Amino acid sequence: MINMVNSSSNVQVKEAVFITPSDPTPSHVLKLSAIDSQLFLRFTIEYLLIYRLGRASDKRAIVARVKDALARALVPYYPLAGRVRARVDGSCLEVVCRGQGAVFVESSGEYSVADFEKAPRYVSEWRNLLAFEVTEVVKGAPLLVMQLTWLSDGSAALSVGFSHCICDGIGSVEFLKYFSQLAVACQYDATAELKPKPKPKPVWDRYLLDPTPCTLQTSHHPEFTRVTDFSNFSTRFNPDQLTPTATTFHEWRVNELKTLVASTSQLSISSFTTFDVVSAHIWRSWARALNFPPQQTLKLLFSINIRNRVKPSLPNGYYGNAIVLGCALTTARQLTENGLSYATELIIEAKNQVDDNFVREVVDSVSLSSTRASQVPDSVGVLILSQWSKLGLENVDFGLGRPVHRGGTRGGSRGSADPRT
């Protein structure tokens, strides 16, 4: 299903249409992988990109260019114009490819570029910048929604929603880069045919992450392990009462954290990443702020790209879900009383555990045909962190220049417009 978010005075929808592939595409059914089909991936990856423009911009020409580029991009990426359903045998999900189309929305809003320089005042403040919310994707909802909103100062916001069951962050941004290249190539009709057209190589091949018959469980998978709730975690926090926030980690601050870790452990600065140390700092700060009982088990979950961790590596252009969850685990007492280096080491250890065998075990565990298909990440004591800064959103230029603010989120609420860690 696809629902239209309640209209507000901040954003007014001018047009909502289906955009179908510009050329004929194959009409068939494609199977999604076991990882794609996971129960907890049935939501939307959402991006928000802000472009600074002048009031004299030709809005009609820009809209036409975006529609044309989207239609062209849906030719090689034609599964994004399809619809997802469950297979009859219940083994996984599949995509019915009949060129049904993606949704394009044009709207106008009362926001200005300056409004996106800080976090929204409440979780749903920017909700209408993606007016159509994809829900229950297995019941025929479009897999891709794109909305172009004209801001009050003449600038523009591009919001995009992808069904997570068909692509991950890397795959979705590969599509956006290709879409933007097409838009730039067609910016001037007179020279469009003279410019070389980008040649994408999107790879489907979802069978590469199907379960194998004889996978032996040799690794520990705490991401799926239930823990005792000593803190009433599941009822303590009402999402509607949470307030979004934004924190900037300047380079000097990140370097301070790295130096602290290196000076209090046997780790060298070159052996850990910015993500490792900033995530460790956030995890410890979160635990201290919420004052968990000392014995409460806490987990930090984060996505790990497995494209080069499986054997053989996944082919370039694979845009399906090629992620598993890394899980760092400890007690509230150990996390808050031990230093930053302790949490950093837990994160590095969780990442290092992910090899080909680990991935194959996860694939087998989450397969819908498995006796363990109910395995989903536990929510008690869990903090989930997503890193968007390495995806390349800053390069999504569809003829308006590079975005001055950009951000992403998993699910229906948006956070900071510019996560630069």
Dihedral sign, CA of 144, 79, 16, 106?
positive
Output phi, psi for 158, to 5 deg.
-110, 115
Tell me how far CA of residue 246 lies from CA of 116, 138, 281, 301, in angstroms.
Answer: 11, 34, 15, 20
- Residue (of 227, 245, 47, 257) closest to 146 by Cα position: 47
Q: For residue 233, give both structure tokens.
A: 């975690």
Closest to 276 measured CA to CA, from 324, 342, 362? 342
Q: What is the dihedral of CA 202, 208, 211, 214, to 10 degrees?
A: -170
Peptide bond into 76 cis (omega under 30): no
User: What single-letter DSSP state applies at residue 331?
Assistant: E
Q: Closest Cα partner for 245 from 277, 282, 298, 279?
A: 282
Residues catalogued as catalytic: 164, 397
Rounded Cα gap, residues 24 and 75, in angstroms = 7
Give CA–CA dist 408/57, Å, rounded: 26
- Distance in Å from the first CA to the final CA of the chain: 35
Cα distances (Å, whole numbers) of residue 395 to 7, 33, 137, 201: 31, 29, 29, 19
Give the integer Cα–Cα distance in Å for 61 and 400: 12
Q: What DSSP string runs through 336-353?
A: HHS-HHHHHHHHHHHHHT
Separation between Cα atoms, residue 76 and residue 23, nearest integer Å: 10
CB 80 within 8 A of CB 143: yes
Nearest to 91 by CA among 369, 364, 362, 360: 369
